Structure 1
Amino acid sequence: MTAAGSAEPAASATADGTGGSVSPPATGLERGLSNRHIQLIAIGGAIGTGLFLGSGIGIHKAGPSILLVYVVVGAMLFVMMRAMGELLLSNLGYRTFQDFAADYLGEWARFFIGWTYWLCLISIATADMVGVQTYARFWWPDLPGWVPMLVAVAFVLALNLIAVQAFGEAEFWFALIKVVTILGLIVVGLFLIVTSFTAPNGDTASVTHLWDDGGFFPNGFMGFLGGFQIAIFAFAGIELVGTTAAEAKDPEKNLPRAINQVPLRILFFYVLALGVIMCVTPWSEIDPSESPFVALFLLIGLGGAAALINAVVMTSAVSAANSGFFSSSRMAYGLATTRQAPTVFGKLTRTAVPGNALLLSCGVVLLGGSLGLIFDDAFQLVTAVSSILFIFVWSMILASYLVYRRRRPELHAASAYRLRFGVPLTWVVLGFFAFMLVVLGLFEDTRGPLLLTPVWFVILGIAWMLVRRRAGRVAASGGPEGTPRA
């Protein structure tokens, strides 16, 4: 392994995975993200609208068993994250997971995973904009939804256009606000539980709320399964740390630290926080169209605190959109440097930021966010599509890992960040993802998006047929400037 922070791999595989030693040119992106940036970006990727707004939908469907849903999904995604971390650190020339997917699965994988992940991130940012519209109604019920959406998009675009350090700083403070808020909510909730606080509506805070209203599985096994879709969306973006590899200082230390803290974040931000909420607010009284975090303080009669929490969850939505803009622009940039997207998206600004790619993301998110102005169930629709696309991306990462283990066992043996029992665990997670697709087909609100999603892959297949000859010439020549090869 090379010196920390270097973009040159010591050993790598050739494009067909047979091995070799190739030193990629510089990526053009700057390594401007420090350890604190990477740590908080990773946290930001795990906390967003899916938790603050979507958790109400999950609680409504699964009841208290939503806590187990988050544990199961989180455990599966931790395996995926460890596999991704080992792959990224096996070659520091990798900028994102589309690079190792191209190495081990072929250039078609770079195209499919790159554009699909771009759409994934756009869908997250779109859901965030729908969330911003919802949160704004707390204060201004008559304000047109396009106003807060436009302000939020303009703010996030400005942050991303400055420099990667500006993105890192903004996400650091955004994520810190989320962490402090959730910590405060947990402390307040625990105090209410210990003191057996009785709300104005007569409900007394107690841990017995987790089982005394229909049991831990009040809606049965199907209700339990119904909670998985929104839980998958809640974790969408958890892999965001994998798109910061090219812009992270000392990735050999910082990336493992960020990934290894995933289980703790899941237990703290999801299981503990939502468990406290359901102990104070009986699960059956939580409105799926509202944030349960805000509803908790309204229930106990603290309107001022509810307004503060609403401000925080709006900040959280902006933060998640900030991450989505950052990563989607890097995906479009990476595709452009391999001639799999218009070259205009491969141009960098004077601050080494892919400005045109950012403008593309901005325009599409504004278009997608307009769904919230038309459809009442826009949030559920967008999150369902996003969940399905993320399952594909995560599966591609795991497929790359399986090929890596077969073709380059010496890299695995030499790795300082090995995934133990990686191959069997990878197959378990892939089986889980397949089962989740079956589950999504069982419910009316997710069946439609599941049936429509293949249209996206048909479009990608046609597009790939049009660009593969050019992409093949690029791969054969070692890639254009800024393209690492393994």
Structure 2
Amino acid sequence: MTSHHNAPAEGGTEELSRSLTNRHIQLIAIGGAIGTGLFMGSGKTISVAGPSVILVYMIIGFMLYFVMRAMGELLLSRSGYRNFADFAGDILGPWAAFFTGWTYWFCWIVTGVADVIVIASVYIKFWLPTIPLWIPALVVIALLIVLNLPSVKGFGETEFWFAMIKIVAIVALIVIGLILIFTGFTHNYANGTATASFMNLFTTGGGFFGGEFMGFVMGFQIAVFAFVGIELVGTAAAETKNPEHNLPKAVNAIPIRILLFYVGSLVILMSVVPWQNFSKDESPFVMLFSLAGLGAAAHIVNLVVLTSALSSANSGIYSTSRMVYALATDGDAPRPFAKLTGRKVPRNALFLSGVFLLSSIVLMVFGLDKSTGFSIVTTISSLCFMFVWTIILISYLVYRKRRPMDHETSKFKMPGGLFMPYLVMAFFAFLLWAFTRDPDTLAGLIATPIWFALVGIGYLVLRRNPAHQAARAAHLAKVADEQANARAWQDQQLNASR
């Protein structure tokens, strides 16, 4: 995984095009950080954890911010890195690029399949209850391919407007909620009457930790899926204009976005409506807009969650196509997937992702789109994303040890780089334990190792491939050269200090 990274793609052009502007990257980062889980899944997290779900989202966001900072420093440490699979392979060895690249592809295929199922069976069915589910599913997959096929700018523009719709919906919720709170809005619920007030977070249903400790823990296993895709800007690095400026800007804005979009909306929701009145089967956004007298609330929120799910699936088909393209240029995937169109889009890799998304239709035909199956699927996706995030952190720790001079000269150093990776990985271990607390998530946890066994077998077979062996030899030569340079630099610093 060295100089061959930018080798010409057979029959295509040399490199991906840097067409994504700062405007695109900022909104892609927002879209990646705000998942469908906020609009639909937050009802379940609130009903399980109570107001303490605010802490759940803050803790997950805090931990993942450091994953993003580690990713940012590593991506900017070498101009040839196109994504995190590249630096994982360069720092940890070819096995890491293979496992990270294909697992990330699998993450998004699983997530994309789940998105297509929800779009067809819930959001489109809301308006067209009699339509056969395979028709909207097929239309969505075709639409995603058409949007991504012309150029990377098409993806950037689509994601920009999808993210903008999400932002407008959340800001509208916060503004309407504040009006209801400051006007002392009162409403009748099944268990009595309540007045909108920030004190509802602390005085109703057992207080801030009304869901008790296990409710707090269960909140993590549900909420973590809302954050998958937060690393999407790392996949887009190779197609970003001026990444040295735009990538740090997007990463640094993540804490503010989480505070505003996740924490802000949840505080407003549970201040207007006491938490015990939320249903796991209903969107909290629909509930609040309905209370405000918006008769079309259900239709408005359905449109928002539809675009949110489309945004997620759009991100998935984009990121998987780029990852397969990168794997193919490194000899880790069949060579035809390294071919680019005249507008520098990996068409074959894009079609591959589209074909796998068609499995959503098969799942719906056999009735595997129900809630239990969906919980297992989202758990597998979350676990695979956690694996990728862990590889990023391990790569960072090895990078700090092996390339001190790169870290010293970095303009985007990870804060707390010596201890935060260990703290975040300990948090991931806690999440694994949390997944064992529920039968559905436990089933997903037990099923996930099957994927890694398949990838391991694939890698063992691939090691015999001449192209892969050449990549391995080049990697070892580069590692030896870097170690020699690092020792020379350290000797130089030691002599200068004497």
- Settle same-fold status: TM greater than 0.5: yes
Asked if the contact 1:338–1:474 (Cα under 8 Å) also holds between the matched residues in 2, the reply is no
Matched, 1:191 2:191: no
1:51 touches 1:270 (CA, 8 Å); kept in 2? yes
Residue identity in the other structure for 2:469? R
Query: Does the CA-based 8 Å contact 1:200-1:300 persist in structure 2?
Result: no
- Could you tell me the percent identity over the aligned residues? 53
Provide the residue aligned with 1:207 in structure 2: 198
Listed as ranges, the matches of 1:235-254 within 5 Å are: 235-254=227-246
User: Counterpart in 2 of 1:129?
Assistant: 116
Which residue in the other structure is 1:7 paired with?
A: none
In the TM superposition, residue 304 of structure 1 has moved relative to its aligned partner by: 1.3
Q: Separation in 2 of the partners of 1:303 and 1:371?
A: 34
Q: Distance in 2 between matches of 1:474 and 1:96?
A: 21
1:9 maps to: none
**1:364 aligns to what?**
356
Offset of 1:292 from its aligned partner? Answer: 1.8
Between 146-155 and 385-394, the greater mean CA deviation after superposition: 146-155
Instruction: Indicate the residue corresponding to 1:10 in structure 2.
Output: none
Q: What is the identity, as a one-letter code, of the residue corresponding to 2:198?
A: V
Give, as a single letter, the amino acid of the residue that structure 2 aligns with 1:190.
L
- Cα shift at 1:163: 0.4
Identify the range of structure 1 (107-116 vs 173-182) with the bigger mean alpha-carbon deviation. 173-182
Tell me if the contact between 1:150 and 1:366 (Cα under 8 Å) persists in the aligned partners: yes
Give the residue type in structure 2 aligned to 1:204.
T
TM-score (ref. length: structure 1) = 0.91
Unaligned stretches of 5+ residues in structure 2:
9-13, 476-480, 483-498
Counterpart CA distance in 1 for 2:284 and 2:124 is: 16
CA contact (8 A) 2:137 2:360 kept: no
Name the amino acid aligned to 1:440.
F
Task: Choose which of 388, 397, 410 in structure 2 pairs with 1:415.
Answer: 410
User: Partner amino acid for 2:408?
Assistant: A
Distance 2:293 2:187 in 1: 7
2:299 corresponds to which of 282, 289, 307: 307
Residue 357 of structure 1, CA deviation: 1.4
- The counterpart of 2:308, out of the listed 302, 310, 316, is 316
- The answer (yes or no) to whether the contact 2:5–2:330 under 8 Å persists in 1 is no
8 Å CA contact 1:120, 1:390 repeated in 2 = yes
Contact 1:125–1:321 under 8 Å retained in 2: yes
Q: Per-residue CA shift, 1:415-461, capped at 9, x if unaligned?
A: 00011320201111111111211221122121011011111111111
Report if aligned partners of 2:15, 2:344 keep a CA contact under 8 Å in 1. yes
Q: Structure 1: how far apart are the matches of 2:213 and 2:351?
A: 44
> Given the alignment, which residue of 26, 29, 32 partners 1:42?
29
Q: Return the match for 1:376 from 339, 354, 370.
A: 370
What code does the residue aligned with 2:148 have?
Answer: N
- In structure 1, how many angstroms separate the alpha carbons of the residues matched to 2:322 and 2:361? 21
Taking a change above 3 Å as real, the CA distance of residues 293 and 145 of structure 1, as seen in their structure-2 partners, is farther
- SS of residue paired to 1:317: helix
> Are 1:385 and 1:453, in contact at CA under 8 Å, matched by a contact in 2?
yes
Most deviating of 426-435 and 406-415? 426-435
Q: Distance in 2 between matches of 1:411 and 1:52?
A: 41
1:29 Cα deviation from its structure 2 partner: 0.6
Deviations 1:321-352 (A, max 9, x none): 11111001111111111121122222222221
* 1:366 to partner: Cα distance: 2.5
Report Cα offsets for 1:113-144 as digits up to 9, x if no partner: 00100011112222222331312233233333
Measure, in 1, the Cα distance between the counterparts of 2:134 and 2:240. Answer: 35
Change (3 A) 1:148 1:292: farther
Normalised TM-score (structure 2)? 0.88
Residue of structure 2 in register with 1:269 after alignment: 261
Amino acid across the alignment from 2:458? A
TM-superposition CA deviations, 1:37-77 (whole Å, max 9, x none): 11111111111212222222211221111110000000000
RMSD over aligned CA atoms reads 2.1
Task: Show CA shifts across 1:262-311 (max 9, x none).
Answer: 00011011011122112222322222223222232234442213312221
8 Å contact from structure 1 (residues 199, 300) kept in 2: no
